[in-house]
A and B are shown apart, each in its own frame.
Chain A
Amino acid sequence: MKRLFILLAAAMWIGAGSAGAVTFKWAADGDAVSMDPYYFNESFTTGFLANVYEGLVMRGKDLSIGPGLAESWRNLDPNTWEFKLRRGVKFHDGSDFTAEDVVFSWHRVTSPDSNFRVYFLSVDKVEAKDAHTVIIHTKSPNPILLSDISYWWILNKAWCEKNKAVEVANISKGQENYATRNANGTGAFILTSRQAAVKTTLKRNPDWWGWKAKVGDSNIDDVVFTPITQDATRVAALLSGDIDMVYTLPVQDLDRVKQAGFKVYQEAELRTIFLGMDQARPELLESNIKGKNPFKDIRVRKALYQAIDENAIVSRVMRGAATPARGMVVDFVNGYDSNFQRYPYDPDAAKKLLAEAGYPDGFTVGFDCPNDRYVNDAQVCQAVTAMWARIGITAKLNAQTKSLYFTKALKRDTSIFLLGWSPATVDGLNVLDNLIYTPDEKSGKGQFNLGAYSNHKIDALTEQARNEFDPKKRTKLLQEALDMSVADVGHIPLHYQQVLWASKAGINLVQRADNNFGWIWVTVK
């Protein structure tokens, strides 16, 4: 009995927490998938781990690339990059950070089970010149190498070897990988406990180099992260004061939360939401037009484009939490062209275009859409369906959960589809390669060009940009290619999505466009 009493008292003391320390409690709509930074390439997981791990370079509040674990770098020639590493940096377990760790991390990140291999296709070899110098050799000049490696977190060689985590987790091996629930980085926060999908706690790393260098100004000592998947519960937890911040606030709660005196953050994120059309098949899979594919005709594609009142979608469906898209990339992505304009909303012109193309009465076509992937995705599709109905296009909307939607769409078993894309490299080449390039299974280009739009002029411009080392000329080429694809209505850009966060009034934080939430910029009053 007495023992039980002591246990109870101890438990209550634990519950009360230690006084004086600043604890930051926040919730998101999902959890980081793994603590292994190479297991799953997804912005939330990568962004979460950016607080624990670091890369050679580091993106700032505005996504600009600055020094991270590398203090400086230079090109010895276009194919050789020399990185001078920061001295005196220690991993959380106390071991020193050296060039060996970088070489090891390169081997690991390019291993077959890594989900980040794609960013290292241009890299030939990484070698340690001395303990604090790393050389990266590329196969051909890669002007955006720094972007490519800007989410490459460096692991500790000795720690991985000791804990049998040299390889990236592979489910089929039937054994849990140590790095799945444990972490040993050099970053500003140290992982203290991890229960996936339930709770993750971290504490401040007082020895992080960035505090002294004023890279981060946070005053938090402890971080408690809880995923809360239900929108209503997450918002209630914020309103009731149980947590300090929510990552993704449903747009329908925007006004209510603002009125209750909370801060709402709504920066445009990297993601562009757009529609694609099957332009490859001789006959559409889901349409009443037989023997030909209407989307091969630019007039039909343009009619569909001009029938959409994007301003109405932004103001009604998105409640202002989006901006109409001019092209396929948002303004801070390299390759954005501020002179380029949307085709105007004009249902009459759209009808005329349809008639010219030989479909005065319109036609019926299938329309695939996810209903739990992007902000209000199914509602956006419903609005588009209604707008098309006005010009005689009957879209048979099939909105379903993302697992089913992506299974169907990635098989290209679709006629019209809605997709969102955020270029992880913050560079237009990523968009051209994945979404616009003529699909080629062998090289993997155009993998997400699900409608198989093909324009060889754009492909040529893309190749030119890939090999152009001069930044200005390169940007020009990207702009030209991206503009051409939109003018040709290869896809119909809809809007740049904003992701809403909200916090208590006394909290300051930075919402970065790549959705990475850096706690080094969080201050709690």
Chain B
Amino acid sequence: MTSYIFERVLQSLLVLVVITLVGFVLFRFVGDPVLNMVGQDTKVEDIDKLREDLGLNRPVVVQFADYLGRVLQGQFGLSYRHGRPVQDLFIERFPATLELALMSTLFSLAVAIPCGVFTGIFPNHWVSQFILGVSLAGVSLPTFLIGILLILVFSVYLPWLPSFGRGAVVNLGLWTTGLMTVDGWKHIILPSITLGLFQLTLILRLVRSEMLEVLRTDYIKFARARGLRQTAVYFGHALRNTLIPVVTITGLQLGSILAFAIITETVFQWPGMGLLFLQAINFADLPIMSGYLIVVGVIFVAINLTVDLLYLAIDPRLRETAARIH
């Protein structure tokens, strides 16, 4: 048991090192960052000096070993573009991304569960057909297009909501929040919808199919036979039993929403980690790019590890297998 957990943690660490290495090597091909850091009139010897200072003319292996050593001490280096420690930039940008991810998850749950229940109970109703049709469009349109369309409709034609940014934020020491001002709430609506739409469709379809499944089971029939009210049958018994997979999927999706909010953040100029990353690519800002990859890697590895360990706690059969192997 303990050795099983130990092994899983070790594997996760290995995955992280590989991610770091691949990212580090891959990012050498985005171009020479030094050329983005000097003006056009800069003399060759000054350019060479900068390259020397940054250690970019050393072999990649040496650079990687050096980088890994510093990362292990919690130093991600200084951003080439911003001249500030990368970890500071991440800490500054993370609240925006997390708030957006949470709001979009809330939005998608709030819409998906009622719609999923409805389409599960009345599969042939025209409203159900309509909901499913729209959700199909939602999942097939690319995120940036949805974002631009929302801006066009709700900012330009109907001037109801702001088109970009996070609005007025309140500083609470280490954390900045936009959820304490009306302006901040206005700003988060469109990006949350854009980011949450894919997840919405996913959960809606999941709830629907689970509902269809559960409604056929014996205990629902018995519940009906006992003469319970419809609402009690649907929401008290049926829905509750569909929620277990929904919770699992939502949790797993939160990771990918955090990591892949890049496009939504770019379209709405949302000052989160994704926007930082995309701008870093444009500028060949290697410290930010490598650091971002590590952070995303850690998020995913941590989620997977947690899920693995949770399964172990929930399912006694897995526990036995794990014990037998070791």
With A14-B181, A171-B78, A171-B80 in contact, is A41–B163 under 8 Å at CB?
no
B41 at the interface (CB under 8 A from A): yes
- Asked if residues A171 and B266 are in contact (CB atoms below 8 Å), the reply is no
- Asked if residues B39 and A42 are in contact (CB atoms below 8 Å), the reply is yes
A338 at the interface (CB under 8 A from B): no
B297 at the interface (CB under 8 A from A): no
With A171-B54, A230-B267 in contact, is A444–B43 under 8 Å at CB?
yes
Q: Which residue of A lies closest to B38 (CB)?
A: A115
Say how far B134's CB is from chain A's closest CB, in angstroms.
24
* A interface list, Cβ under 8 A from B: 7-8, 11-12, 14-15, 27, 33-34, 39-42, 112, 115-119, 169-172, 174-177, 180-181, 195-199, 226-230, 232-234, 236-237, 239-242, 372, 401-407, 410, 421, 424, 430, 434, 441, 444, 447-448
Q: Which residue of A lies closest to B169 (CB)?
A: A11
Say how far A247's CB is from chain B's closest CB, in angstroms.
14
Tell me the bound Cα distance from A196 to B93 in angstroms. Answer: 11
- Asked if residues A33 and B81 are in contact (CB atoms below 8 Å), the reply is yes
Say how far B106's CB is from chain A's closest CB, in angstroms.
19
User: Can you add 19 more A-B contacts, CB < 8 Å, to A233-B267, A406-B35?
Assistant: A41-B40, A117-B46, A118-B43, A171-B79, A171-B80, A180-B84, A197-B81, A227-B269, A229-B278, A236-B151, A236-B164, A240-B159, A402-B36, A403-B31, A406-B36, A424-B39, A430-B41, A447-B43, A447-B44
Which of A41, A181, A239 meets B39, CB within 8 Å? Answer: A41
Which of A11, A12, A236, A410 meets B163, CB within 8 Å? Answer: A236
Which of B203-211, B279-287, B308-316 lies on the face that meets chain A? B279-287
What does the 1/0 interface line of B149-172 toward A look like (CB < 8 Å)? 001100110010011110110100
Tell me the bound Cα distance from A163 to B264 in angstroms. Answer: 38
| Interface residue ranges of B17-43 to A (CB < 8 Å) | 30-33, 35-43
The residues of B that contact A170 with a CB separation of less than 8 Å are 53
With A198-B271, A407-B32 in contact, is A172–B55 under 8 Å at CB?
yes
The residues of B that contact A241 with a CB separation of less than 8 Å are 159
Which of A33, A174, A434 meets B78, CB within 8 Å? Answer: A174
The residues of A that contact B39 with a CB separation of less than 8 Å are 40-42, 115-116, 424
The residues of A that contact B269 with a CB separation of less than 8 Å are 226-230, 233
Say how far A32's CB is from chain B's closest CB, in angstroms.
11
Number of interface residues of B (CB under 8 A): 62
- Asked if residues A236 and B54 are in contact (CB atoms below 8 Å), the reply is no
With A42-B39, A170-B53, A403-B31 in contact, is A240–B156 under 8 Å at CB?
yes
- Asked if residues B163 and A171 are in contact (CB atoms below 8 Å), the reply is no
Say how far B188's CB is from chain A's closest CB, in angstroms.
13
Tell me the bound Cα distance from A117 to B43 in angstroms. Answer: 9
Q: Which residue of A lies closest to B33 (CB)?
A: A403
Tell me the bound Cα distance from A405 to B32 in angstroms. Answer: 10
B138 at the interface (CB under 8 A from A): no
The residues of B that contact A421 with a CB separation of less than 8 Å are 40
The residues of A that contact B38 with a CB separation of less than 8 Å are 40-41, 115
- Asked if residues B148 and A232 are in contact (CB atoms below 8 Å), the reply is yes
Which of B41, B80, B163 meets A237, CB within 8 Å? Answer: B163
Tell me the bound Cα distance from A406 to B38 in angstroms. Answer: 12
The residues of A that contact B278 with a CB separation of less than 8 Å are 229
- Asked if residues B43 and A403 are in contact (CB atoms below 8 Å), the reply is no
Say how far B133's CB is from chain A's closest CB, in angstroms.
27
The residues of B that contact A401 with a CB separation of less than 8 Å are 31, 282
Which of B42, B77, B84, B180 meets A196, CB within 8 Å? Answer: B84
Can you list 6 A-B contacts (CB < 8 A)?
Answer: A41-B38, A118-B42, A171-B80, A233-B163, A236-B155, A405-B31
- Asked if residues A404 and B31 are in contact (CB atoms below 8 Å), the reply is yes
Q: Which of B30, B41, B155, B183 has the most CB of A within 10 A?
A: B41
Tell me the bound Cα distance from A404 to B36 in angstroms. Answer: 10
Q: Which residue of B lies closest to A34 (CB)?
A: B83
With A117-B46, A236-B155 in contact, is A229–B266 under 8 Å at CB?
yes
Say how far B252's CB is from chain A's closest CB, in angstroms.
29
- Asked if residues A242 and B40 are in contact (CB atoms below 8 Å), the reply is no
Q: Which residue of A lies closest to B184 (CB)?
A: A15
| Interface residue ranges of B56-99 to A (CB < 8 Å) | 75, 77-85, 88, 92
Tell me the bound Cα distance from A7 to B37 in angstroms. Answer: 42
| Interface residue ranges of B262-313 to A (CB < 8 Å) | 266-269, 271, 275-276, 278-279, 282-284
With A11-B168, A171-B78 in contact, is A403–B44 under 8 Å at CB?
no
Q: Which of B92, B276, B279 has the most CB of A within 10 A?
A: B279
Tell me the bound Cα distance from A188 to B191 in angstroms. Answer: 36
Tell me the bound Cα distance from A405 to B35 in angstroms. Answer: 10
Tell me the bound Cα distance from A406 to B266 in angstroms. Answer: 25
Q: Which residue of A lies closest to B155 (CB)?
A: A240
- Asked if residues A403 and B167 are in contact (CB atoms below 8 Å), the reply is no
Say how far B180's CB is from chain A's closest CB, in angstroms.
5
Say how far A449's CB is from chain B's closest CB, in angstroms.
13
Say how far B151's CB is from chain A's closest CB, in angstroms.
5
The residues of A that contact B268 with a CB separation of less than 8 Å are 233
The residues of B that contact A33 with a CB separation of less than 8 Å are 81
Say how far B45's CB is from chain A's closest CB, in angstroms.
7
Say how far B177's CB is from chain A's closest CB, in angstroms.
9
